[in-house]
Chain A
Amino acid sequence: MMGEMLTLALLAGLAPGSGDPSPGIPPGTCALPEAFGPGKAVHAPLPASAAPVEAPAYYAFPVVSTRRLPGTGLAAGLGEVTFADSPFGVTLAEDGSYLLDVWLSVERLMAPREGVYVGWLTTPDLDQVERIGPLADGGPLRGRARWNKFLLVVTLEPADDPEAAMWTGPVALRGMSRSGQMHTMAGHGAFEQENCAAYGYD
């Protein structure tokens, strides 16, 4: 029960802000922001790649502000993906999911008055979470995803706790792997309850 309550509370943190379009999926409107292709960007411009690799642009994804916290409204980030090191060119986790290095870089994120911004990777069901680490000077920050669809969130935590299994603070920025664009009628993001725009896709 506690777990469910916690999950619901966390989901609330992931829910779109008041400025976001209403939930639901308007058919045929999901597209990549301007930096990725045609379409009208509604979020701050995406930063250039800061990862020390040449990650495939196709699998890069926007990391957008939830506009819930002061000093984050103009912030924008970029998630980039490469295969984790492997002899095969394609790296897989035990269950056959891709094992990916995820590089996060963020621009225009003002330092918090207190606390620290921490990056996390999680599944769309929020049932598994990997802490990436504290976001210092905008990154790049490297995490590892072992899921084919995943979310990336940056939360404001009271302190940097390397042992933390889950975030406790509000979500400042969030992103969704490009694979999340594979549509279902349910939607995107956490529990498939949100539309693309909540994750920076127009």
Chain B
Amino acid sequence: MRQPTPVRPLHGLRILLVAALPGFGTALPGMIAALPGALAAQEHRMMGHGEHGEAGGWRMPPMSAAMPMVPGLENALPPVRPFLIGDGMDPAMFPAAEPGRRVVVADGDTLDMDVSVVRRTIGGRDYAMLGYDGQYPGPLIQADRGSRIMVRVTNRIQLPTTVHWHGIRLENRFDGVAGLTQDPIAEGETFTYEIDVPDAGMFWYHPHMREDVQQDLGLYGNLLVVPPNPDYYGPSHREELLLLDDILIDDQGLIPWGEEAPTHALMGRFGTVMLTNGVDDHRIEVRTGEVVRFYLTNVANTRTFNVRFGNARVKLIASDVGKFERETWVESVVIAPAERYVVDVRFPEAGEVGITNTIQAVNHFRGTFYPHEDTLAVVSVNGPEIDDEVAQAFDELRENRDVIEDIEPFRALLGKPVDLELVTTVRVRDLPVPIVASMEADTFYVPPVEWNDGMPMMNWLSTGTQVTWILREPASGRENGDIDWRFRVGDVVKIRVFNDPESFHPMNHPIHIHGQRFLVTERDGIPNTNLVWKDTTILPVGSTMDLLVEMSNPGSWMLHCHIAEHLHAGMMFVFEVTEE
């Protein structure tokens, strides 16, 4: 039974934001502790709303009581309207979402998938959210490599939407970018995607319109492309998906999103509740000694995770668009938004193992790092130990000759000169003065990666109307949508990207290229000795990375930051690849 979709329209569906905004100066000498009264003991209520209460539908995101309120911001609100799906309605009127199911789609077959409002329960509380086919996450679509599958998407919500098939080198017109490769799918409309899957691996799908809202509300799912060779990966006993997400909730419910433009434009919208496969209490049962293959996908708006599997050994096998040249042991998996990693983990001892996000969070106000750990899932290990051939094979690290041979034609090009350069930076305008002052002072040290929201209030108050994140081409001076790159199929292009640390508020960026695959050949001048095809990769603050992009797929494609709020704050452009 289809339910009504009583949502208010969401405006501001900008696809290309290219407006030039007046810049602010570079960092002022000073320090945050020296701001007049900045650290006066103006602590506000935890999990609360400070002096705000509810104002015009806004509630301030939860902030630690230990974090002082910046003077002058006590009554500030984001300069956009708040938006919640099903606002004011009882979530019980929407159908309960079901856990995501695996759907095997054969070559030439069509899968029907709708987008609808669903009821989700998180932390014992019901929320109106969104789902693909009424599921959380969306269905795990499984297809054989080399096949063509069709997915017929019907939009049953009032928000226009699209589906982007992340990492798939498919035909351009099915890439799902509203305003570029297709018109938005309006309420009641249907769009059929024809998806060629030339590469084996774990991919994912999500909207390419207001991802900061739609994806955050649950519109994401995996697409598993199965290789023809059953020995493509080493042996394992079982497979598990881990779609990693977070959602911003306080004691009253979901913190509203911005209607005309995203809030949290500076750092992206960090959540307060960790979700794995859509739930906050994900559990996995395994037998002692089992080798479990985990497919990790980061579907969060902005959070980069550092995933640990307790003391279990972790073998890194593959990433976005295939396997590594060589398997390696890793202590943890650092996964930025939109990246995927495949690991094998063996659990040799009975008991419970926490899969955790283990980080050193930063407290910008106190100038300290502190250890922080979130439990993403709990693995319950039981039963007599399995010590079969699969378990024994786990100790071996494979060299993947097929990958090495696939990369071989590109090896001579790894050291080629840089063809094109990009610099990432940011401009702001009309931010409240206390935010500008605080952040300029704070730029004496910016960490390579923001693992947590160290300034929740200032971040919340910054919107896509005030912040422009920028990809700048130094050679031309062009920025974002004005960048004009044209290639031919067969071109192999080396792109150097530098994350400028001297900007107003530098931050790490997961850089995503649509429709093509690339190798990260160097980071900070250090050659990469274990290559893997990627479609998204993290660029820490101050770092430089070289990407060798195989232009194999004709069309108009996007290059952008995959922090949802940065994307909508302009950090994107389109490049053309034409047939030879």
B451 touches A28 (CB 8 A): no
Q: Is the CB of A90 within 8 A of B524?
A: no
A148 and B362 CA atoms in complex are apart in Å by 10
- Give which listed residue, A83, A92, A149, A179, contacts B306 with CB less than 8 A: A92
Whether A58 lies near B541 (C-beta < 8 A) is yes
A28 touches B542 (CB 8 A): no
A131 on interface, CB distance cutoff 8 Å: no
Q: Contact at B530–A87, with CB atoms within 8 Å?
A: yes
| Cβ-defined partner of A30 (8 Å) among B362, B444, B446, B542 | B444
CA distance A49 to B240 in the complex (A): 46
Does the CB pair B359–A56 fall under 8 Å? no
**Interface residue from B304, B368, B525, B539 paired with A182 (Cβ < 8 Å):** B368
Contacts of A39 in B (CB 8 A): 29
With both chains docked as a complex, state the minimum distance between the C-beta of A153 and any C-beta of chain B, in angstroms: 20
Q: B306 touching A87 by the CB < 8 A rule?
A: no
Q: How far is the CA of A89 from the CA of B58 in the complex (A)?
A: 37
A98 lies within 8 A of B368 (CB): no
Asked if residues A185 and B523 are in contact (CB atoms below 8 Å), the reply is no
A55 within 8 Å of B (CB atoms): yes
Give the size range of A's interface with the partner.
35 or more
CB-based contact A54/B542 at 8 Å:
no
A198 to B442, CA, bound (A): 21
- Is B501 interfacial (CB 8 A cutoff)? yes
Specify which chain A residues have a CB less than 8 angstroms from the CB of B304 in the assembled complex: 90
Partner of B369, one of A57, A97, A185: A97
Task: Given A83-B524, A183-B31, A183-B32, verify A89-B444 contact (CB < 8 Å).
Answer: no
Chain A stretch 134-192: residues in CB contact (< 8 A) with chain B:
148-149, 178-185
The answer on a CB contact under 8 Å between A98 and B33 is no
| Identity of the chain A residue whose Cβ is nearest the Cβ of B522 in the assembled complex | A54
Tell me whether A96 and B33 are in contact in the complex, defined as CB-CB below 8 angstroms, given that A83-B524, A89-B334, A182-B445 are known contacts: no
- How many angstroms from the CA of A184 to the CA of B523 in the assembled complex? 32
Of B41-49, B182-190, B323-331, the segment with at least 4 beta carbons within 8 Å of chain A is B323-331
Residue of B nearest to A101 (CB): B526
CB-contact partner of A96 in B328, B451, B537, under 8 A: B451
A-side residues, CB < 8 A to B, are: 27-31, 38-39, 53-59, 82-83, 85-98, 148-149, 178-185
Nearest 7 pairs between A and B by C-beta? Answer: A54-B525, A56-B542, A182-B367, A27-B34, A58-B501, A58-B542, A88-B334
9 A-B interface contacts by CB (under 8 A): A58-B502, A82-B525, A85-B526, A90-B448, A90-B538, A96-B358, A97-B360, A148-B369, A149-B369
